[in-house]
Structure 1
Amino acid sequence: MAGANPPQPANPQPQHPFPTYHTALDLPLQARLLCEIIDTVPIHDIEARLASTQIKPEPEMVQQVLKLSYNSPSAAVKFFRWAGLARKHSEHSWNLMVDLLGKNRLFEPMWDAVRSMKQEGVLSLTTFVSVFGSYCAAGRFGEAVMSFDVMERYGIQPDIIAVNCLLSAICREDNQTEKALEFFEKIKAKIPPDADSFAILLEGWEKEGNVAKAKTTFGEMVIRVGWSPLYISAYDAFLNTLLCGSQADEAIKFLQVMKGKNCLPGLKFFSNALDILVKQNDSARASLLWGIMVGSGLVPNLIMYNAMIGLLCNNNDTDNAFRLLDAMVFHGAFPDSLTYNMIFECLIKNKKVRQVGKFFNEMIKNEWNPTPENFTAAIKMLFDGDDPGMAIEIWDYMVQNSISPRDDAANVLILGFCSLGRLTEVRRFAEKMIDGKIIISESTMTKVKNACYKEGRSAREMYDNLLRKWKSSCL
């Protein structure tokens, strides 16, 4: 490495950006100066400029500079060589150099550095993990596997940790879990897999949504390593794959088995699973999942309660929504505005006239107001459901508590009185609304006119007076 010419990037550069010294706000002054030389000085003048600084590059400084020089690999090699003249590089600095070259797809110089590390006695598994990752990021999976195969030649024993690092590097890339499986099948007779090996593959199948492969891998996992509460990440990945693959019944069956083995996943899985079932609008299976979770002693949080209550309300299951609402406080999850408004909206939508009034009073007692949209919808539904008294009570609450906007609710209230032929209240409420700068729409005024003109002369005069007041408010 020390005598090699600086590498020239023959291959296209990777697409992802590397960090630079420009954004490293806490970088020491001397390290910043070295980074600036690497970044701006012509390649042939770099070593002279570095020497002219008379900076003594300590290992920590070398590492700081290398981490911020991935965009300038040729200059970084010059810097590395210059810094090595003052003192031997640390293992960490060598590993950074290998990573820098690999991430820039300069694989021949990368291997020169690996060979130099062997000579220096600082080569380790960490080095090969970097090599695996660089080859996989470049889409050169065969060479990543070949790197694993030559580890012993470099004095590094290929063990299950190395296997898992390579599996992870392959699966990190999109749609490559099949290649990871090929390597797994080849190596498992020589180096028996552990739970982490299966977890990595299962997470790969989860990312790709491959239910069939996930089932096969999970089956082999159970045979080879058995059951354990320590394998939660593998279980999570497998169950998520089933759920996302529209196999919720299978997922729930496996959950029941896992519960019997005392190997249930944690709250994070149940939260993710609930999100999936909510998106699928699957309240029946979500309820089964919920029962397993709560029955196992796991305590749902407010977000999970709201997700479940929202799903039940979306399926018009107000009875179970109320049951969850009552249970929340016992688990320390106190209902909020969203909780109450989802249930209130569901009651309105299902025309539960008596329950709407009762629930409205419970909401305001607990200091949670309906949304303006729910105020409007409730007033309309109560008029349609022959309970104008409750509609007026809700409107009065809006006025007394200065809830805004209330234009829509005001118009609905006026139209409700029109539909009942209660024109005296139309006039009384409309005049107060106009005085209160509430906007009564033109279409509402047209319907008031139609209702008044059907009732005779006095009603017409009432409307004409109201119209004049309305027009003057619009000026």
Structure 2
Amino acid sequence: MVKAYISLRMFDRVIDIFFPPKRHGFVFSTLSLNFLMSKLIQCGKVDIARFVYQQLKRLGLSLNHYTYNLAIKALCKIGSLEEAAEVFEDMDKAGVTPNAFAYSTYIEGLCLNGKSDLGYQWLQEWRVTKVPLDTFAYTIVIRGFCNENRLREAAGVLLDMEKHGVVPNVYVYGELISGYCRYGNISKALFFHNKMMSKGIETNSVTVSVILKCLFQLGMTFEALSQFEEFIKSGIFVDRICYNLVLDALCKLGIVEDAMKLFNEMKKKQIVPDVVNYTTLINGYCCQGKLLDAFNLFKEMKDTGHQPNLVTCNILASRLARCGYVKKVYDFLDYMKTLGLKPNTVTLNMIIEGLCLGGKEKEAEAFLDSLQEKCLENYLALCNGYCEVNSLEKAFQLFMMLSRHGVIVRKGSCCKIVYEKLIDVLCRAGEMGKARMVFDILIGRGFTPDLLTYTQMIKSYFKVNCSLEACDLFNDMKRRGIKPDLVTYKVLFNAHSKINPKISSLADAIQSK
């Protein structure tokens, strides 16, 4: 009965079973109580797990290592670190000796709550008293320091553990390498990866993926591809996630055929592609305008037993729209339904924007009108589509229509991006009257434009010889607490140096504004 209630997450019922007003002398086994606490923590019901532990203490029941470990874990998750420390006192009173997991769990709790210094301090003190700490304790301290961007301290922990005879494993090095990659220090990441390999510690696909991802994010595409080839030649196992990073990079470089060769090599190595791998290549073909190849790959994906997801279908629907295949778009939407996939807002928006980009603005408008349930994001997609193809009058009129209906601003939507793009394209076209109208309406509705938008407006005002309006906008930006950057000041300098040739520095321009 308890397991049935827990499987349905009916925890209140379970609590009533375990802790009724009258117990009649009946006591549940510790195993059952541990099972309850474990599931509560897994489901995020940490406060209830804490309540269960408090009730167990009140009833004076006999608890085991696992119960205390769960209590420490639950209390650390809610930040009750002092209460978690008291569990060790409870264990001492009950004659239960804490194991390595209990100590490590507490250290992890400290690190997760931004107290990695204290976690490391406890690790060192417990090590002196011969507490049984394993490699995991060091791993979580290194992870904690990395999360706090204290990479030097994290590297120091690695040296410290080696000094005390604790042999680091791939997970210890992996945390440190991930930390350096997270903050873009790829040279240090590669240094520690090479050091790990030189010690005979085999790397894993997770660490390899982290390194490759960092290289790609830093724009070091060719270095990443070279590193990937080196990993392969070294006999390091790389999984489908690693392959997908490279497939995506090749597709973005426009060499989809090379990506396909790598895809086939991957299959030869008995690494079964998943939907993500197929979708990456389908997207690559779509970006190249090779719809037939994309749909052939889509068919292969289905034939090999992979169920297409919304991401895959959205890419294909969007490309059909961009190519102007209006009827095929509608047919594909019907086909999606046969797969059990319901087109969502993203699907519809990609089609609307795609039709605009494909020169089918009227069809995009008709598609939006045909939707039974419309939302602001759908109209924003149309506005964005107009902006992309320079249909500025249509974009402006759509914005004004939305403003009259009072639905132009909504938190959590893509409003900010679209409206700032609208202001930008109007400024570039010299339509400062319309740009300022959009700007003022947004300000009036509580929307605060960012620095880039202010700078673009100021620059555009200077271009049409409206220096007074530009300076007023500059002052308004500062009043709102938006700090100008070097680009903003350069705009001021360039404009004022044309007006007053005596101005020869940024400082003079700022002073004369």
**TM-score band w.r.t. shorter chain:** 0.5 to 0.7
Determine the structure 2 residue equivalent to 1:460.
Answer: none
CA–CA distance in 2 between the matches of 1:135 and 1:256?
Answer: 40
Q: Give me the whole-angstrom Cα distance separating, in 2, the residues matched to 1:210 and 1:115.
A: 45
| Paired residues of 1:73 and 1:100 also in contact (CA < 8 A) | yes
Out of 11, 14, 27, the residue aligned to residue 56 of structure 1 is: 27
Residue matched to 1:241: 214
Q: Which residue of 2 aligns with 1:310?
A: 283
Match of 1:282 among 252, 266, 271: 252
Change (3 A) 1:204 1:27: farther
Taking structure 1 as reference, are residues 328 and 151 closer, same or farther at Cα in structure 2, changes over 3 Å only? same
Structure 1 CA distance for aligned equivalents of residues 245 and 93 of structure 2: 47
User: Where in structure 2 are there 5+ consecutive unaligned residues?
Assistant: 1-8, 337-347, 372-513
1:166 Cα deviation after fit: 3.8
Given the alignment, which residue of 249, 258, 275 partners 2:231? 258
Change (3 A) 1:326 1:110: same
- Aligned-pair CA distance for 1:125: 0.9
Question: Does the CA-based 8 Å contact 1:129-1:162 persist in structure 2?
Answer: yes
- Matching residue within 86, 92, 105 for 1:109: 86
What amino acid maps onto 2:64 in structure 1? S
Q: Is the 8 A contact 1:97 1:113 kept in 2?
A: no
Give the Cα separation in 2 of the matches to 1:290 and 1:363.
29
User: 1-side partners of 2:245 and 2:283: how far apart?
Assistant: 15
Aligned equivalents of 1:153 and 1:193: distance in 2? 19
Structure 2 equivalent of residue 141 of structure 1:
116
Which residue is equivalent to 1:92?
66
The aligned runs of 1:57-456 (5 Å cut-off) are 58-60=29-31, 62-63=33-34, 64=36, 71=47, 79-84=55-60, 87-100=61-74, 102=76, 103-106=79-82, 109-113=86-90, 115-116=92-93, 120-152=95-127, 156-168=131-143, 170-171=145-146, 173-189=147-163, 190-225=165-200, 227=202, 231-271=204-244, 277=249, 282-284=252-254, 288=258, 291-297=261-267, 298-314=271-287, 317-318=288-289, 322-327=292-297, 329-330=299-300, 332=303, 338=314, 341-345=317-321, 347-348=323-324
Shift in Å, 1:240: 1.6
Give the C-alpha shift of residue 251 in structure 1: 1.6
SS in 2 for 1:296: helix
Distance 1:337 1:128, change over 3 A: closer
Query: Measured at CA, do residues 90 and 250 of structure 1 come closer, stay the same or move farther in structure 2, by a change above 3 Å?
Result: same
Q: Which amino acid aligns with 1:224?
A: K
Structure showing greater relative contact order (alpha-carbon pairs closer than 8 Å, 6 or more residues apart)? 1
Relative distance call for 1:70 and 1:264 in structure 2 (3 A) is: closer
- Contact 2:69 2:102 (8 Å CA) reproduced: yes
Which residue of 2 is the match for residue 439 of structure 1? none
Backbone CA RMSD of aligned residues: 4.8
Q: Does the aligned pair in 1 maintain the 2:244–2:280 contact within 8 Å?
A: no
Q: Do the aligned partners of 2:142 and 2:175 also contact (CA within 8 Å) in 1?
A: yes
Residue identity opposite 1:56 in structure 2? V
Rounded to whole Å, the distance in 1 between the matches of 2:176 and 2:201 is 16
Q: Report the residue type matching 2:262 in the other structure.
A: I
Q: Deviations over 1:323-382 (max 9, x none)?
A: 45445545546998656545545545xxxxxxx89xx899979x969968878987969x
Encode CA deviations 1:173-193: one digit per residue, 9 max, x unaligned: 453554332211221232221
Q: Is the 8 A contact 2:135 2:168 kept in 1?
A: yes
After TM superposition, give the deviation of residue 152 of structure 1 in Å.
4.6
Distance 1:140 1:377 in 2: 51
Whether the aligned pair in 2 keeps the contact of 1:252 and 1:289 (CA below 8 Å) is no
Alignment TM-score, normalising by the size of structure 1 = 0.54
- Pairwise CA distance, 1:124: 0.9
Report the number of matched residues.
Answer: 328
Identity %: 10
- C-alpha deviation, 1:300, in angstroms: 4.0
TM-score, scaled relative to structure 2: 0.50
User: Post-superposition, which runs of at least 4 consecutive aligned residues in structure 1 deviate over 6 A?
Assistant: 72-77, 333-336, 360-365, 367-381
Offset at residue 237 of structure 1 (A): 1.7
Task: Return closer, same or farther for 1:131/1:302 CA change in 2, 3 Å cut-off.
Answer: closer
